[in-house]
Amino acid sequence: MATQTYKSWSVVTASTTAFTVCFMVWMMFAVIGIPIKQNLGLNETQFGILVALPVLTGSLIRLPLGMWTDRFGGRIVFFILMLSTVFPIWLISRATEYWQFLVTGLFVGVAGGSFTVGIAYCARWFPKHRQGLAMGIFGAGNTGAAVNKLIAPSIVVAFGWTMVPQVYAVMMLVTAILFWFFSYTDDAHATGAATVTVREQLAVLKDPTVWRYSQYYSIVFGGYVALSLWMTKYYISEYGFDIRVAALFAAAFSIPGGVLRAIGGWFSDKYGAHTITWWVLWIALVCLFFLSYPQTEFTIQTISGPKTFQLGLNATVFTVIMFTMGIAFAIGKASVFKYISDDYPHNIGVVSGVVGLAGGMGGFILPIMFGALVDFTGVRSSAFMLMFGIVWVSLMWMYFTEVRPQNVEQNRKYPDPLHFS
């Protein structure tokens, strides 16, 4: 008979694999959306809506999925969720009109809700002092965004974009079956959950702390999703790469944003969620400051005549900065959920559903705003300007609600020894 330790790690392994495939499906339009845009003659805003719409469904469904996970257990909810997406994924290959892509994208987006299910499912198999690591390992399934960029472009070039959803549909079906055989059910995780009413679960919506964590997550996860959807097209437009090279460069942001999440969980267990999140936001702010600067050419008059200078990031420097920000976002995604496991151990499913919904909504709204800003300003780096402002607001919120109160408390306990009353 399998030991508890074996079951715990089997659950994490099966869930992480399943989440990776779900994330690949969720990010599918980041690649196939480019030939679809060309075929349908879409503008930047329409493209933003196309790639973002699956994120909308995956975000809105996170709250009910979190509640169902608390109530029925993660294994059955995760399994049914994956099966429900197989047919819609396949239908994308048959779509020909813009509205058809939007409708099928809404149904496929359900795959994005798998995060809320898996994070609560995995956390309950581990003691509190190891939950950060367990959730970080599971969250590494975000790497599916990078795997999608590595696999889908080759399929598009070799067989056409319609083959991608067909391959992904088969992959999702096989993954769902394997997940069921390698995961386990622990009835103790749902003991007493059936007596908790929906009203009691939704009470967390009145908690301002939950909304603060939601704001943090809308950056580290919502920003990650939005940029994962946007970067392939950005490299094509800004640097003139073909789809395979552009996707490869874009993966430099997506890979650390997923793989290193487990390290973020370990850091959060060791140093605390607050400290890690604070530094993550500062690193992101610095990266976005440089990314925001557009390609610029200016001329100055000198004693020997006019001289023209060019300023802007080349593809290599741009990718290095994106890689750095991907690392920061990976660590931040884990640290935010460490907050949740520390503060809400008994209803982690519904709280992670609320926070995950906020993060997903960031991933939905931002690509549309990216496209609208490009159409309005004509400046591609306006996407990073927008994110710079959002991160700055979040840092101020964190300072006044967490950093400053902690400093006041420390000064109260340990007054200045040179001060005499």
> Is 227 within a domain?
yes
Taking residues 223-252, what's their average pLDDT? 89
Q: In b/e form, how buried is each residue of 58-79, taking b as 16+ CB within 10 angstroms?
A: bbbbbbbbbbbbbbbbbbebbb
3-22: pLDDT as tens digits = 878 888 899 999 999 999 99
The per-residue pLDDT for 36 is: 94
pTM (predicted TM-score): 0.75
The per-residue pLDDT for 149 is: 86
Residue 143 confidence (pLDDT) above 70: yes
Residue 412 confidence (pLDDT) above 70: no
Taking residues 121-145, what's their average pLDDT? 80
> Is 176 within a domain?
yes
Full residue range of the structural domain in which residue 288 is found: 9-190+198-296+310-406
CB atoms within 10 A of CB 241: 18
Residue 309 confidence (pLDDT) above 90: no
> Is 115 within a domain?
yes
> Is 418 within a domain?
no
The per-residue pLDDT for 416 is: 56
Confidence label for 132 from pLDDT (cuts 50, 70 and 90): confident
Residue 420 confidence (pLDDT) above 50: no
CATH classification at residue 215: 1.20.1250.20
The per-residue pLDDT for 333 is: 85
Of 406 and 161, the structure prediction assigns the larger pLDDT to: 161
> Is 3 within a domain?
no
CB 206 within 8 A of CB 348: no
> Is 238 within a domain?
yes
Average pLDDT of the chain, as a whole number: 85
Of 125 and 235, the structure prediction assigns the larger pLDDT to: 235
The per-residue pLDDT for 387 is: 93
Please list, in sequence order, all residues whose beta carbon lies within 8 angstroms of the beta carbon of residue 323, skipping any fewer than 6 positions away.
Answer: 252, 253, 256
Confidence label for 74 from pLDDT (cuts 50, 70 and 90): confident
Overall domain count for the chain: 1
Q: Quick one: 367 exposed, middle or buried, by C-beta within 10 A (0-12, 13-18, 19+)? A: buried
> Is 301 within a domain?
no
The Cα 23–Cα 182 span in angstroms is 20
245-255: pLDDT as tens digits = 998 898 888 88
Nearest to 262 by CA among 122, 135, 356: 135
> Is 4 within a domain?
no
Angle subtended by helix axes 382-398 and 208-220, to nearest 10: 150
The Cα 20–Cα 148 span in angstroms is 10
Confidence label for 81 from pLDDT (cuts 50, 70 and 90): very high
